[in-house]
Amino acid sequence: MCGINGIIRIQDKQQAAESLARMNMCVAHRGPDDSGEYADDFVALGHRRLSIIDLSASGHQPMFSQDQSVVLIFNGEIYNFPELKKQLADYPFKTDTDTEVIIAAYLKWGIACIEKLDGMFAIALYDRQQGKVYLVRDRLGVKPVYYYVSPRGEIFFSSEVRGVIAGAGIKPKLNTASVSDYFTFQTVTGQATLADGIKMLEAGSIASISRDAFDIKPYWKLSYATDESIGYDEAVKTTRELVFSAVSKRMMADVPLGAFLSGGIDSSAVVAAMAESGYKPNTFNVNFAEGKFSEAAYARMVAKRFHTNHTEINLKPEYFLNLLPTAVRALDHPSIDGLNTYVVSRATKEAGISVALSGVGGDEWFAGYPVFHRMYHDKLKRFRMMPKVLRQSAAGLAGAVARNESWSKKLELLSSDLRFSDLHLAERKLFTASQIQRLLKQVNAPDNRKHPDIQTISDLSIAEWETYLMPVLLRDTDQMGMAHSLEIREPFLDYKLVEYLLSLPASYKFGEKPKQLLVSAMGDLLPDEIVSRPKMGFVLPYEVWMKNELKPYVKEGLNTLKHHSFFNEEGIADLEAQYFEGRRSIKWNMIWSMAVLGHWINNNGVQ
């Protein structure tokens, strides 16, 4: 895992060298083991290295092909590089790295070689003979690539938004078109970011850049075709094999391995697969004095079953308060979930671990969230039978009588067409449209992005990936893991596993127990208490701490928004007062999202 930076279509070579140095310094935390730079009159490439495979100096980047025609910088891991290397036996390899395998693959197959890579990656490949740079992002968007096109036509790219800002030398401005998106989904989806003009290369895409062209095309798209011929027993067997394979691939490293162990079935299944392979994992669990938020007892059961080297991180509000300013400053892009990962990543790195496996993604592909059950059992059917005009009239009357924010989402849903897309949007919304209007002086359309069309359970999985898994969980995993130079790998983001799960009949994922298919495939390895327990998300006790120890910090973030020209001071103050007065309809995550955004704006000098 590393950090990549670059400037394409250089206008001033000396200025580019200074910009690249700033970019490399800005993302130094992503790769403390080595750094490197390359520049000519067209491109400048910078790299920060976190040594995971082939720890020797031969893994230095930028890396060159034998004939010096190709220059490459790379962030991530290629899990099938040993197999590819056998197919490239005619290349004179000098290292044991996956980086060199990418170069050899490109020389043999051209840019189509990307389709042969199995892993998580962000790649910048410069073909000096063609005068072309390729920027590539992995299929499921595990590793990020951000970019900015300057008024002069220069292109700055980096693993982080801050790296782009540092290189381009711009004063970041708030992307007002994306603020409503942030308040809806607690993130910004699609290509946009909250920094105006800075975009994210979409997952599964290749950007081809020359002096006179900039084209972005997909090389892979997440799609599916349900295969009704697959029997349940066969599905269970194949799922187990694919989970074991996904975990096994991600255990490839020349450094010690660890695993995040919440005590839920996803992380427990990952630990079980690691242990069954003969490896004794180092496991890490965050727990709290507030009992209803702590999963420590379940994590201990799994750790005991597999004899792991288990570490419990006892998080107290005083410790978290001291850690909070540093943790929020580590947010390259604002998020309300990322601090969880920051805490466990810090403890994992302090224990001497450089690679950790995570169970993120299990809920999306195995239908673990409540919205999957509501859609599968079609909880909207009886309302859909009512004429829309009647539903809208009823919603209007209910809203006038209730005047309660807790009803807002329900009333908006009732007034919609009651499609499954409407149900998903209502479930994912942080604020309603009317609440957002009160928070902002001007509500702009979010970059013409449409909500995904949802007809099936697999469509819903893809929608969850697009609106939550990729822009929230994976972005948090990357930015908060790399804040501590920790590489985090996600077996449930294995594209072969994902493609298979999407092809299965929906009924296979539902049954007596949550995530029935995963339970059937891996449950025999786990304690009964793990497979039978109700779902419990990994959430810090914000609702307790925010009204006590964290209150001054929260108010500081809210005050930043109140004094920012784009936000409505009265609307923010009203929600703030309602929350601290104990109005149950105003949830902690609504207030926390505003506070985090305020601190992000302040920390990064966003205009």
Residue pointed to by tokens 């910078």: 46
Q: Identify which of 383, 468, 395, 403 has the alpha carbon closest to the alpha carbon of residue 430.
A: 468
Burial class (CB in 10 A: 0-12, 13-18, 19+), 481: buried
CB 216 within 8 A of CB 202: yes
Question: Of these residues, 1, 2, 101, 261, which one is catalytic?
Answer: 2
Cis ω before 62 (30° cut-off from 0): yes
- Can you tell me which residue has the tokens 């950090």? 3
The distance of Cα 208 from the centroid of its chain, to the nearest Å, equals 24
| Six token digits for residue 510 | 């539902």
Q: Which residue has the tokens 């001071």?
A: 569
Quote the longest CA-to-CA distance of the chain: 76
CA 215/CA 202 separation, integer angstroms: 13
Neighbours of 67 (CB within 10 A): 9
Q: Rounded to whole angstroms, how far apart are CA atoms 63 and 45?
A: 10
Q: What whole-number distance in Å separates Cα of residue 197 and Cα of residue 208? A: 19
2 among known catalytic residues: yes
132, β-bridge pairs: 127
Distance CA 554, CA 432 (A): 21
Nearest to 348 by CA among 320, 313, 314: 313
d(CA 119, CA 489): 10
- Give Rg (Cα) of the chain: 24
Q: What is the C-alpha separation between 207 and 215, in angstroms, rounded?
A: 6
Number of helices and strands (H, E) in the chain?
Answer: 26, 17
For residues 330 and 301, give the distance between their C-alpha atoms in angstroms, rounded to a whole number.
Answer: 33
Q: Which residue is it, tokens 């230095």?
A: 60
Question: What are 370's two structure tokens?
Answer: 């409540």
247 vs 61, 259, 364, CA distance in Å? 27, 11, 17
Scan for tokens 């079609």, then name that residue: 378
DSSP letters of 108-125? Answer: HHGGGGGGG--EEEEEEE
d(CA 482, CA 476): 10
The CA distance from 222 to 210, in Å, is: 28
Locate 382 and state its tokens: 């009886």
Helix (H) or strand (E) holding 313: strand 309-315
DSSP string, 425-453: HHHH-SS-HHHHHHHBSS----TTPPPPP
Task: Calculate the CA dihedral of residues 62, 64, 70, 73 and round it to 10 degrees.
Answer: -20
Starting from the edge strand earliest in sequence, which strands make up the sheet with 309-315, in order? 309-315, 282-288, 257-260, 355-357, 487-489
What are the catalytic residues?
Answer: 2
